[in-house]
Amino acid sequence: MAYNDFGLPLLERTDNKTVVNLSRKAIKNGLMNRRLFIKSSAAGFALSGLNLPKFANAAGIDTKRVGLIGTGWYGKCDLLRLIQVAPIEVVSLCDVDSQMLSEAADIVASRQLSKKRPRTYGDYREMLKEKDLDIVLIDTPDHWHALPMIDAVKAGADVYVQKPTGVDVVESQAMLAAARKYGRVVQVGTQRRSTPHLVEARDLIQEGKLGKIAHVELCCYYHMRAKGNPPDTNPPSHLDYEMWTGPAPMRPYNSFVHPRKWRAFTEYGNGIVGDMCVHMLDTARWMMNRGWPTKISSNGGIFVDKDSKANIPDTQTATFDYGDMQMVWNHRSWGTAPDPEYPWAAIFYGEKGTLKASVHKYDFIPRDKNQRTIHKDVAFELEQYPEDKVEKGLEKHVAPAIRGHMKDFLSCIETRDKPVADIEQGHISSTSCILANLAMQLGRNLEWDPVSHTVRGDQEANTLLARPYRSPWIHPDPETV
């Protein structure tokens, strides 16, 4: 029998059962690793083309029972991509917005094989009490990542949690501790690590095409900071605002809070650094095999849009110092981007050339004019997954990356290996961004000690590593999770 580049048999004609059994054998033998999964997203190998989930249950593959906490925009994006690539049964959905929850249940029932409508919950603790979930996806606002993730691994589930891992350093540290203590696989939604064209771009760095890299620019110039000053009102009747706020400080409700514009407030997240820098910093670290920065500095503020109700900076620079090289972040939610082709990007400057990388494409420009430039665009996969064409709110260019990330997650659930965006990697990237905000707040450089998880010689900074929690919620402790 002939085999393709991925180590799978080349099949001219076969029935569905044969394909499924071969795929199961490949997974069992370790052939279907994360590299294969990512490449398969780009190349559209045989199993993806055959739309495996449509017949997998009949062929005897174990069906994973899945629950989702947070059924808004990205919750549906993540869950519906998982449905596309795996034989799962979505049995539980949870959201504090009953209207959003009901709509999501209807969508899931129309998309999953069984056509069953999932159970619905307004409190994630009631959902996890059932202890019947193999996988839990967490797509809540950032201030609600830590507690559900920790409770989910305690309940025996493997977890896919959106970035950042926490809104404070100790939260994030506790999430890592819980994942390790309970032996669960946790994938963080930094899906640039599974973006097919960025995997290819990473190879250029790993192969030495850029030579020594001593500087990386990270940036976001999207006008994404909420504008305006809407009045405070009573929350809508379909939203449990007390539960939505949870451990965060209680703010008066206004239309910025829910849905999606909550990122305008530091009470619920870490601004544009916590939302967008975390992706590009993580991408750069992954591409270059870098861990913790040793020193972090930052400055910025609200310099232009002073009239908005938003309290996050509209302008910020942060430097992540690795000693022999620096990664420097810049964001402005006003004005124009220096390079309109790369408004949200990581740009690597090497002695042999420059690599520009974004969610849409990459460009490699060698210094030697005799070498060819390399350009690659994102692969949309709209023909393989036609539902992507009409799905409301889906970032079509990101869908292949989410699918690749889910495939890697599923593969590691089977092997119990660490996924490509393991919770530890998410913790490093998330914490580094949180420290950048603390450095800006304090007006000084911070020297991070990853062993003790403290800022060296700065007691004031160390007192800010954990935010106060609103009663009755209790801040997680890495020592006692």
pLDDT single digits (tens) 183-213: 999 999 999 999 999 999 999 999 999 999 9
Amino acid letter, 61 = I
Tokens of 237: 């009747």
Please tell me which residue, 395 or 22, carries the higher pLDDT value.
395
Query: Sheet containing 119-121: which strands, arranged edge to edge?
Result: 119-121, 88-94, 64-69, 135-138, 158-161, 186-188
128 vs 40, higher pLDDT: 128
> How is 100-160 classified by DSSP, letter by letter?
HHHHHHHHHHHHSTT-PPPEEESSHHHHHHT---SEEEE-S-GGGSHHHHHHHHHTT-EEE
Question: Percent of the chain having pLDDT more than 70?
Answer: 87
Number of neighbouring beta carbons within 10 Å of residue 423: 27
Return all residues near 428 (Cβ < 8 A) that are at least 6 apart: 285, 291, 292, 450
Mean pLDDT for the stretch of residues 131-156: 98
Apex 42 CA angle, 370 and 327, nearest 5: 60
| Listed residue (144, 174, 123) closest to 74, CA to CA | 144
pLDDT tens-digit readout, 234-291: 999 999 999 999 999 999 999 999 999 999 999 999 999 999 999 999 999 999 999 9
Entry pTM: 0.88
Q: Which of 192, 224, 384, 241 is nearest to 314 (CA)?
A: 224
User: E-assigned strands of 189-307?
Assistant: 213-220, 295-301
In whole angstroms, what is the distance from residue 478 CA to residue 170 CA?
7
Q: CA–CA separation, 328 vs 182, rounded Å? A: 36
| Residue 134: both structure tokens together | 């193999």
The H or E element that residue 68 is part of is strand 64-69
What is the helix, strand, coil percentage profile of the chain, to 5? 35, 20, 45
pLDDT digits (tens, 9 = 90+) for 98-108: 999 999 999 99
For residues 270-305, one letter each, b for 16 or more C-beta atoms within 10 angstroms of the residue's C-beta and e for the rest, the string is bbbbbbbbbbbbbbbbbbbebebbebbbbebebeeb
In this predicted structure, which of 15-19, 176-180, 352-356, 450-454 has the lowest mean pLDDT? 15-19
pLDDT in tens, 308-348: 999 999 999 999 999 999 999 999 999 999 999 999 999 99
Three-class SS state of 50: coil
Contacts of 161 by beta carbon, 8 Å cutoff, 6+ apart: 137, 138, 145, 149, 175, 186, 187, 188, 189, 423, 426
Predicted confidence (pLDDT) at residue 409 exceeds the cutoff of 70: yes
Name the nearest CA neighbour of 146 among 247, 274, 245, 241: 247
Q: Which domains, ranges and CATH numbers included, belong to the chain?
A: 16-193 (3.40.50.720), 196-378+423-463 (3.30.360.10)
| Burial class of 108 by CB neighbour count within 10 A (0 to 12, 13 to 18, 19+) | buried
Residues 6+ apart with CB under 8 A from 34: 194, 407, 408, 411, 412, 419, 420
- Predicted confidence at residue 62, as pLDDT, reads 79
Q: For position 61, what pLDDT does the model report?
A: 56
**CA-closest candidate to residue 137, choices 195, 183, 87, 72:** 72
% the chain with pLDDT above 90: 87
What is the CB neighbour count within 10 angstroms for residue 9? 16
Higher-confidence position of 21 and 378:
378
Q: Which residue is it, tokens 């899931």?
A: 108
**Residue 1: pLDDT band by 50, 70, 90 thresholds?**
very low
Rounded to whole angstroms, the Cα distance separating 342 from 218 reads 10
Nearest CA to 140 out of 157, 126, 124 is that of 124
